[in-house]
A and B are shown apart, each in its own frame.
Chain A
């Protein structure tokens, strides 16, 4: 058993973790994934351990096939030295019989029927021992073999494998002892002549203890290997079941999260419909006229309601990405067409502020590449609307280039810039450069947080450089995947 003690401590509670994440709304996707990951790791671990044990059994079979004929050869040698006629039959049985029987026994054990295997093995040994006792009639040892054999059989039938295995070990060693005695001729009678009384009482006990101990070392190892492989198989099955359960639990949690998001969206939009609806009806004079201060106030109600709607949309976007409900759809697209259409969509905003808006698409950019059209568009639009928002005069630039497997998109402006201390947190939700900034410049304060999440989703990186009063540069770098890379990946 010590051979397997090297096995490290395993992560033991993927199920509990998965259940926890169901109970606890705050538990993030990370915990869930950790549970899944751990049970997958357990499955892999048990699988490799199982294969290792199977290989060990193979080795044991081979060793037995080689060793048992050698035992038979021992018998044969003994026969020539003591010249007993009837023993020919028995020795031949030992020589040719042991090997196939061990092979069958080990094969059965490997197939999971260790008990039947042991019984067949025992029965054969019993037969051999009985015949030896009858025809060779060689002193106490042969009687000992018979007794040991019967004891082993008895232990097997009362279903104590542990005890039976010790008896089997003892018996096999008795056989070996007999071979040694036969090879050394009249050794037993010499011993008996000198210390007969001691031998009669002490020697059998000493031999028995030695045999039992040695039997432990050899046979117990074989047995533990076989049992271990059984155990491993069941552990393997168990950990597969755990992994399946964890997956199911995670999927259910995901479904609930998605359901909650959609319900929240619905419940928030319904009252907003009344707020925006009634105020616009009032404001437009569709239902009678409102003048002066009242009209101004209605205008402010509408502006705030629209801001609230934008917030709800952004929060839902962000939660969807964080709950991994957002699906990235990678398809072949023309980067220049995509950026051009985004540019076209934003140009009216720059014109109304009197800004110069430049588009610079490098000739090195491949005509087609793989990415998510709507995600890229959303990212660039968010960055551009920020650039336009924070630039009072001057220019905004959208640049794209590629080299060394990287696709770079840069959004640059000559605006107010970002102070160095703020660069750390501008990607955090609801953090604009200062508290007043949000009110002054509008926006939900979630634009850059969404950009960051989307960039992560596409496996990209976003960097920002800025100098107060001179402008900011946001640089996006995505892995460049062209048709050639895509084909390679499929192949």
Chain B
């Protein structure tokens, strides 16, 4: 079943951050647009969730104690058979060169903190359209209600 990739209401998003405030901001922003949001407070919790969960899209903070965003990305892309799942780096690393570093590591999208909840979704969807991710990333991973 094909689903419009820009239809946020069909998303089951996983957001990972060690900072609870940041986690709440992204959760509120995504769920305002109708996405189903699951949050993980840190890399270990995210790995636990990913054993059973097949999210539509993943939002990863990069610098976290323990398992950080970089190693989570590695797990997602290489070990969990979720290589088709788009992963967004949502990070406060916003210096020159960070974008290149993030995209080179294999993240699909790069967004910086602080972000504006008002424009966040427009920016993300614009990037997704421009990138031409096929389907809603991959139809078989979508749980359509």
A29 on interface, CB distance cutoff 8 Å:
no
- Is A275's beta carbon under 8 Å from chain B? yes
Closest chain A CB from B64 CB (angstroms): 11
Mask of A103-132 contacts with B, CB within 8 angstroms, 1/0:
000000000000000000000000000000
1/0 per residue, CB under 8 A from A, across B32-59: the answer is 1000000000000000000000000000
Q: Which of A271, A275, A305 has the most CB of B within 10 A?
A: A271
Q: Are A277 and B118 in contact (CB under 8 A)?
A: no
* Contacts A278-B25, A281-B25 given; does A266 touch B63 at CB 8 Å: yes
| Contact A281-B114, Cβ < 8 Å, known A269-B92, A269-B94, A270-B22 | no
Nearest B residue to A326 by beta-carbon distance? Answer: B96
Q: Are the C-beta atoms of A274 and B21 separated by less than 8 Å?
A: yes
With A262-B93, A266-B92 given, is the CB distance from A273 to B115 under 8 Å?
Answer: yes
State A262–B94 Cα separation when bound (angstroms): 8
- Please give the distance in Å from A217's CB to the nearest CB on chain B: 67
Identify which of residues 106-125 in chain B touch chain A, using a CB-to-CB cut-off of 8 Å.
Answer: 112-118
> In the assembled complex, which residues on chain A have CB atoms less than 8 Å from the CB atom of B29?
277, 281, 286
Interface contact B116-A276, CB-CB below 8 Å: yes
Residue contact B117 to A265, C-beta cutoff 8 Å: no
Q: In the complex the two chains form, what is the Cα distance from A269 to B92 in whole Å?
A: 6
Docked complex Cα distance between A481 and B143 (Å): 60
Q: A266-B92, A270-B19 are in contact. Are A286 and B28 (CB under 8 A)?
A: yes
Residue contact B117 to A280, C-beta cutoff 8 Å: yes
Set of chain B residues within 8 Å of A271, measured between Cβ atoms:
21
A77 at the interface (CB under 8 A from B): no
> Is B92 a contact partner of A280 (Cβ separation < 8 A)?
no
CA distance A309 to B115 in the complex (A): 11
Query: Interface SS of chain B: helix, strand, loop or mixed?
Result: mixed
Q: Chain A: how many interface residues by the 8 Å CB criterion? A: 24
Q: How far is the CA of A262 from the CA of B28 in the complex (A)?
A: 28
Task: Report how far A79 CA is from B5 CA in the complex, Å.
Answer: 115
- In the complex, how many residue pairs between chain A and chain B have their CB atoms under 8 Å apart? 76
Are A276 and B114 neighbours in the complex by a CB distance under 8 Å? Answer: yes
**Contact present for A281 and B112 (CB under 8 Å):** no
Q: Is the CB of A273 within 8 A of B113?
A: yes
Most buried by B among A270, A272, A320: A270
> In the complex the two chains form, is A284's CB within 8 Å of B92's CB?
no
Q: Does A287 belong to the interface (CB within 8 Å)? A: yes
Contact with B along A250-293 (1 / 0, CB 8 A): 00000000000110011101111111111011001011000000
Q: Are A316 and B95 in contact (CB under 8 A)?
A: yes
- List of A residues within 8 angstroms of B26 by Cβ: 277
The residues of B that contact A280 with a CB separation of less than 8 Å are 116-118
Contact A269–B95 (Cβ < 8 Å): no
6 tightest A-B CB contacts, nearest first: A277-B25, A274-B21, A269-B92, A273-B114, A273-B113, A286-B32
What are 24 A-to-B residue pairs whose CB atoms are below 8 Å?
A262-B93, A265-B92, A266-B94, A269-B114, A270-B22, A270-B113, A271-B21, A272-B114, A273-B19, A273-B22, A273-B25, A273-B92, A273-B113, A274-B19, A276-B116, A277-B28, A277-B115, A277-B117, A278-B24, A281-B32, A281-B117, A286-B29, A309-B114, A320-B96
What residues make up the interface of B, taking CB atoms closer than 8 Å to A?
19, 21-22, 24-26, 28-29, 32, 63, 91-96, 98, 112-118
Known: A273-B113, A277-B28. 17 other contacts (CB 8 A): A261-B95, A265-B93, A265-B95, A267-B92, A269-B113, A270-B19, A273-B21, A273-B92, A277-B115, A278-B21, A278-B25, A280-B116, A280-B118, A281-B25, A281-B29, A284-B117, A287-B32
